[in-house]
Chains A and B, each alone.
Chain A
Amino acid sequence: MLIPHPLLGLRDAQEFTYLGDARLIDRPDGMAEGAEAAFAEYVYLRDNPAGVHRELWFHEQGDRSWLIVTRDTVTHEILGAELARNVALAANGGEA
């Protein structure tokens, strides 16, 4: 597989380490009310779609960027890749 790194272009998937569902970037606040239930869901529950899936890949043998790769789990077609940091910043209301 080839992954279109937003900074480095097409890179072989062998350079990356896979983590999983991109929702892992939405970590609950451990000090908030009801944190235990929120964490139980965060840690253990994942969607496992047959189709489009956003997932985290780490460019371990490269520039050490975490990417969010959008991949079709049925065809393995890669529909896009973004820097996870930019996505997280945008989600937190910061600047990408």
Chain B
Amino acid sequence: MTRLSGGLIDRSRSLNFTFDGRKLAGHPGDTLASALLANDVRLMGRSFKYHRPRGLIAAGSEEPNALVELRGGARQEPNTRATVAELFDGLDARSQNRIGSLRFDLLGVNDLLSPFFAAGFYYKTFMWPKAFWEKLYEPAIRRAAGLGSLSMQADPDPYDKGFLHCDLLVIGGGAAGLAAAQAAARSGARVILADEDFRLGGRLLAETHLLDDAPAAGWVSGVEEELASLPNLRIMRRTTVFGAFDHGIYGAVERVADHLPEPGDKPRQTLWRITAKRAILAAGAVERHIPFANNDRPGIMLAGAMRAFANRWAVSPAARVAIFTNNDDGHRTAIDLAAKGVDIAGVIDSRDNVTTMGSYPIFAGGVVSDAKGRLGLTKIEVTQNGRSQWIECGALGVSGGWNPNLHLASHHRGRPVWDEALQSFVPAKDGPPGLIVAGAANGQGSTAAALRSGAEAAVQALGELGITGALPDLPQAEDVVSKPHALWHVPGKGRAWVDFQNDVTVKDIKLAHQENMRPVEHLKRWTTLGMATDQGKTANVTALAIMSELTGKPIPETGTTIFRPPYSGVSLSVLGGGNTAGHFRPRRLTPTHHWAEAQGAVFVEVGPWMRAQYFPRPGETHWRQTVDREVLATREGVGICDVTTLGKVDVQGADAGEFLNRLYCNGMKTLKTGMVRYGLMLREDGIAWDDGTCARLAEDHYVVTTTTAQAGPVYRHMEFARQCLWPEMDVQLISTTDAWAQVSVAGPNARRLLERIVDEGVDISNEAFPFMACKGLTICGGLRARLFRISFSGELAYEVAVPTRYGNALMQRLIEIGADLGATPYGTEALGALRIEKGHAAGNELNGQTSPQMLGMGRMVSTKKDSIGAVMSRREGLAADTRRLVGLQPVDSAQPVLAGMHLFTDSAAQNTETDQGWITSACYSPHVGSAIGLGFLARGDERMGEVITGANPLDQQQVALRVVSPHFVDPDGGRLRD
């Protein structure tokens, strides 16, 4: 078929593209669908279940059949509707869901097996034997039934997210939307006009209606020009508003570069979050078809779509076409195509007493009852007054009336209501607050009514906002309301398709009815009707009407379908909006990061932070060599570690001590100024939550630390306590995690090293600055710092805090001037090994399942005061738990110890009843000379020296473990105080 005359395509330029490897050409303004039709391609895909040859049905985003794969390599993109793919030079498109060629699909055999694939077949056919499901049925079904395939590579294109705000969002740029946008924009309100098409005009572009006696395209261009000149209006083409969310927030996807071979410096797509005070839904309507036997032959399409292809894109699917309609609208297709020289085989109108509106043959009171032409329509059977005849034609346009595109109006569970006169569902009044539906989406389908209702909706919406708008002078337009005759399907023997995408037939609906799957939600799940990418846009209402016929109940009583977002498919890439890989979440660097990098450190993610895990030296070939060296260097000389990531909260005020007393299970009010205390926080249910240190810098000034992972939640909890529980207290909080860099200096040489950096006159001798002391001081010649004598490793140790920007310099200085003392940087691995050797609890032990008693801190929970979690920590269930923190050491020092191993009495059966506990942390201890672990063991505190079994059933490991004190290093704590 060559092109027809007219149309909104640029014939001066050609665009080359391929379909299944065939080289074809189209013009700017074409969609892939229109370009394929212009090249005589009617067969575009294979159906989901039966692999029936299929062509396109629609001209817009409701298309169920013509799903194609676009592009190649990593950009391969499945399931794009050919009707919305804008043609570009070099586009590579392929049909999908076939084995072999599109014309000869090996899985076409499924069509012969169709009796096995009837409604509910998933639930009935593949049940037995059970073991076959995973190995045989599921893989076979996945291979056979399906849509397009993924590239299995990362999407190389950038995506973006954005936020927009407006007074009025107009969804849809057809007659109603343009009139609304014009009225609103002239009032000065901030307006966004979004349309999914690449060209504004909507249905006006598909029709030959005149506006003020001139083609509608002229009026559209005029409005577009005016809108473009107004600074308060933003036009968003290629933008689908896919969902109405709470409080006037709308989700939209702008396909910024889908129409380009590659996006270049643009994002491929942008996800917009639009906050609109008011919105107008002017999304138009979708035509419905009338199922009859073999109504899925390629070439059978919606009459309105056929007209759109002829008028906008200047193509006809065949040289000779017929129309099957139950309303006046179908006749327009015959008139328009005839005017462009297409041979009209006839209009089959189910209504009696209709006459031709042009010079084409009319079959009044007739129906199309069958069709032939497996790979492309060749003839249709017309039945009239009980007599049937075959008529040759290459394409058939079907018009069963129009369904308002009311999806967004029901996104807040608003139920559409049945309009008997229009024979369709229209939006109810209980849609999302602030949303007004106008035009064909509201059942006002004539051009004049659409223009008027759009403009009126805009004036009403702005009026609610206190903005005065005026109705613009609207052009004169046709005002014919096309009311369909209720004909929902043509009864017959053959299979008549209702839902093309899911291969659901009238028979399937009958079967669902017989099997009592009558409520609309059951019908959907039993038959798969209305599922997949098109969500039944062309099928749902028809299916409901057929079910209504079967049950004998009117349509509104049979049920209504409501819709959920998204209106049409939204890609996961754009939902990610560029938050992928390194941008998935914020990545935080410690103050010494760049220094550590220069030392060749290996980093590890700890929450949002990147921390140095260990610092390999030349010649070290295994991470354990490095970590063992760092541990020993700390125990023998001095080790230095960046601990900035610990959360820090500054607590000030007259009631600071009392406040902390209530937050921590142990007392903090009695802490002397200049001293630090370990603190354990419980959850209100009595479970240990987080630990850290409290340093009292002054009578009314504390600094507390939290674990790295809980820094945010603990601060939130502290604010909750301050504002909601004890608002009368004089206490203020601020998180200072980012303000202070903190470095741990640990080992027998720690004091000697620090003495080299503290300023003159600062005494940090053991007498002047004992274990658990703290103070503010200056170092390195006047630098403000805080010093805490606390130890996580069990060695003589300090933590030095300086303003963050000096953290890197402090680290460098300590390493440089401590060379002779053996100053060695260590990372999180050595930090872990050091604390496991010392038996300090950390995140593995504070895992949300452990009580203070289990941690050996039961007596720390003060009974003399109320604190969060104290009451519940004493409840029976927790008190009865005898598991206690112990150390574990393999009897054979060559054996491994693994975190996660479960503990059993030696030689006992191993099951949940006999389970005695588990190992929380494990490492190789250079100090002990074997692997060691910490764990919780039933009556653990009474079982020192006993040999038990650590089991790792995943690897069939059984290790004999001796129960020991958790303090592998310096159990008396002499080193700390030295």
Residues of A within 8 A of B (CB): 1-2, 12, 17, 19, 24-25, 27, 29-31, 35-36, 39-40, 42-44, 56, 58, 60, 64-66, 75-78, 83-85, 88-89, 92, 94
Among B245, B412, B716, B870, which residue has its beta carbon within 8 angstroms of that of A30? Answer: B870
Q: Can you list 22 A-B contacts with CB-CB less than 8 angstroms, sorted by A residue number? A: A1-B245, A2-B246, A2-B247, A2-B249, A19-B720, A27-B725, A30-B866, A30-B870, A30-B871, A31-B865, A40-B875, A58-B716, A58-B719, A60-B712, A66-B720, A75-B412, A76-B246, A78-B247, A84-B724, A88-B727, A89-B728, A94-B728
Which residues of A sit under 8 angstroms from B355, Cβ to Cβ?
none
Task: Write out the residue numbers on chain B whose beta carbons fall within 8 Å of the beta carbon of A36.
Answer: 871-872, 874-875
Complex interface residues of chain B between 789 and 825 (CB less than 8 A to chain A): none
Interface pair B875/A65, CB less than 8 Å apart: no
- The 6 closest A-B CB pairs, nearest first, are A30-B866, A85-B723, A25-B724, A2-B247, A1-B246, A76-B246
Indicate if the CB atoms of B727 and A85 lie closer than 8 Å: yes
| A43 and B685 form a contact (CB under 8 A) | yes
Q: Is B684 an interface residue (CB 8 A)?
A: yes
B867 close to chain A: CB less than 8 A: yes
Instruction: List B475-510 residues whose CB lies under 8 Å from chain A.
Output: none
B728 A92 Cβ-Cβ under 8 A: yes
CB proximity of B170 to chain A, nearest CB, Å: 21
How far apart sit A35 and B867, CA to CA, in the bound complex (Å)?
12
Having A58-B719, A66-B724, A76-B247, one finds 18 other A-B pairs with CB under 8 Å, namely: A12-B275, A24-B724, A36-B872, A36-B874, A39-B684, A40-B875, A43-B685, A43-B872, A58-B716, A58-B720, A60-B712, A64-B719, A66-B719, A66-B720, A76-B246, A78-B247, A83-B723, A89-B728
Which partner residue on chain A sits nearest B430 by CB separation?
A: A75
Cβ distance B138 to chain A, nearest Cβ, rounded Å: 38
How far does the Cβ of A62 sit from chain B's closest Cβ, in whole Å? 12
**A29, A30, A31, A66 interface centre (most CB from chain B within 10 Å):** A30
Question: Which residues of chain B have C-beta atoms less than 8 A from A31's C-beta?
Answer: 865-866
Q: Which residues of A contact B433 (CB under 8 A)?
A: 77
| In contact, A42 and B728 (Cβ under 8 angstroms) | no
Name the distance in Å between B585's Cβ and chain A's nearest Cβ.
14
How distant is the Cα of A24 from the Cα of B412 in the complex, in angstroms? 30
Chain B residues touching A, range: 20 to 34
Give the residues in chain B near A94, CB-CB below 8 Å: 727-728
B851 to chain A, nearest CB (A): 14
> In the assembly, what is the distance between CA of A83 and CA of B866, in Å?
25
A17 adjacent to B716 (CB under 8 Å): yes
Per the bound structure, the CA–CA distance linking A83 and B719 in Å amounts to: 13
Q: How far is the CA of A60 from the CA of B857 in the complex (A)?
A: 32
The 8 A CB mask of B857-891 against A (1 = contact, 0 = none) is 00000000111001110110000000000000000
Bound CA–CA A17/B872 (angstroms):
25
Contacts of A12 in B (CB 8 A): 275
**In whole angstroms, how far apart are the Cα atoms of A83 and B685 in the complex?**
26
Q: How far is the CB of A71 from chain B (nearest CB, A)?
A: 10
A60 to B715, CA, bound (A): 10
Most buried by A among B245, B723, B866, B875: B723
CA distance A35 to B874 in the complex (A): 11
Q: Which residues does chain B contribute within 8 Å of A43, judged by CB atoms?
A: 684-685, 872
Binding site for A on B (CB under 8 A): 245-249, 275, 412, 433, 684-685, 712, 716, 719-720, 723-725, 727-728, 865-867, 870-872, 874-875
- Inter-chain CA distance A60–B718, complex, in Å, is 12
Task: Give the distance in Å from the alpha carbon of A19 to the alpha carbon of B724 in the complex.
Answer: 12
Partner of A66, one of B245, B275, B723: B723
**Nearest CB in chain B to that of A22: its residue:** B724
Chain A residues with CB under 8 A of B725: 25, 27, 88
A17 vs B720: C-alpha distance when bound (angstroms): 12
With A1-B246, A88-B725, A94-B728 already in contact, the answer to whether A42 and B865 are too (CB < 8 A) is: no
Q: How far is the CB of B767 from chain A (nearest CB, A)?
A: 40
CB A4 to nearest CB in B, in angstroms, measures 10
Question: B867 and A30: CB pair below 8 A?
Answer: yes
Which residues of chain B are within 8 angstroms of A1 by Cβ–Cβ distance? Answer: 245-247, 249
Question: Which residues of A sit under 8 angstroms from B712, Cβ to Cβ?
Answer: 60
- Closest Cβ neighbor of B735 among chain A residues: A64
Structural contact, A85 and B724, CB atoms closer than 8 A: yes
- The listed residue with most A CB atoms (<10 A of its CB), out of B245, B433, B712, B871, is B871
Which residues of B lie under 8 Å from residue A2 when comparing CB positions? 246-249, 275
Question: Do A84 and B723 touch (CB < 8 A)?
Answer: yes
- When distances are taken between beta carbons in the complex, the residues of chain A under 8 Å from B728 are 89, 92, 94
CA distance A88 to B726 in the complex (A): 8
Shortest C-beta distance, A3 to chain B (Å), equals: 9
For residue A37, which residue of chain B has the nearest CB? Answer: B871
Given A29-B866, A39-B871, verify A65-B723 contact (CB < 8 Å).
yes
Alpha-carbon distance between A12 and B163 when the two chains are bound, in angstroms? 11
Which residues in B have their C-beta under 8 angstroms from that of A65? 723
Contact A35 B871, CB 8 Å, known A17-B716, A66-B720: yes
Please give, as numbers and ranges, the residues of chain A lying within 8 Å of B865 by CB-CB distance: 31
* In the complex, chain A residues whose CB is within 8 Å of the CB of B870: 30
Q: How far is the CB of B248 from chain A (nearest CB, A)?
A: 8
Q: How far is the CA of A31 from the CA of B871 in the complex (A)?
A: 8
User: Nearest B residue to A14 by beta-carbon distance?
Assistant: B273
State the CA gap A34–B141 with chains docked (Å): 62
Give, as a whole number of angstroms, the nearest-CB distance from B575 to chain A: 15
- Minimum CB–CB distance from B667 to chain A (whole Å) comes to 14
Say whether A88 contacts B685, CB under 8 Å: no
Interchain nearest-CB distance for A22 vs B (Å): 9
Among residues of A, the one whose C-beta sits closest to the C-beta of B734 is A64
CB distance from B841 to the nearest CB of A (A): 23
- Bound-state Cα–Cα, A63 to B814, Å: 38
Q: Which residues of A contact B875 (CB under 8 A)?
A: 36, 40
Report the bound CA distance from A36 to B471 in whole Å.
Answer: 68
Docked CA distance A42–B684 (Å): 9
Q: Write the nearest CB–CB distance from B722 to chain A, whole angstroms.
A: 8
CA–CA, A83 to B412, complex, Å? 29
> From residue B276, how far is it (CB to closest CB) to chain A in Å?
11
Q: What CA separation (Å) do A76 and B412 show in the bound complex?
A: 10
A residues less than 8 Å from B247 (CB atoms):
1-2, 76, 78
Q: Given the complex of chains A and B, what is the CA–CA distance between A25 and B728 in angstroms?
A: 13
Kindly report which residue of chain B lies nearest to residue A68, judged by CB atoms.
Answer: B724
* Assembly CA distance A75 to B413 (angstroms): 10
Q: From B685, which residue of chain A is reached at the shortest CB distance?
A: A43
Closest to B273 in A: A12
Chain B nearest CB: distance from A41 CB in Å? Answer: 11
Across-interface contacts of A35 in B (CB, < 8 A): 871
- Supposing A30-B866, A30-B870 touch, asked if A92 and B719 sit within 8 A by C-beta, the answer is no
* In the bound complex, CA of A31 to CA of B720 (Å): 20
User: Which single residue of chain B is at the shortest CB-CB distance from A92?
Assistant: B728
In the assembly, what is the distance between CA of A22 and CA of B667, in Å? 28
Question: Which chain B residue shows the least CB distance to A59?
Answer: B719
Closest CB in chain A relative to B275 CB, distance in Å? 7
Alpha-carbon separation in the docked complex, A66 to B722 (Å): 10
The answer to whether B724 touches A56 (Cβ under 8 A) is yes
Bound: A51/B598 CA distance, A: 59
Cα A39 to Cα B867 in complex, Å, equals 12
Residue of A nearest to B684 (CB): A43
**Chain B residues with CB below 8 A from A84, complex form:** 723-724
Cβ contacts under 8 Å, A85 to chain B: 723-724, 727
Give A71's nearest chain B residue, CB to CB. Answer: B246
Provide the bound-state CA to CA distance between A80 and B866, in Å. 33
Chain A residues near B872: list those with CB within 8 A: 36, 39-40, 43
Q: Is the CB of A60 within 8 A of B716?
A: yes
Contacts of A78 in B (CB 8 A): 247
Complex CA gap A27/B717 in Å reads 14
Within the complex, the shortest CB–CB distance from A69 to chain B, in Å, comes to 12
Please indicate the chain B residues that have their CB under 8 angstroms from the CB of A83 in the complex.
723
Which B residues are in CB contact (< 8 Å) with A27?
684, 725
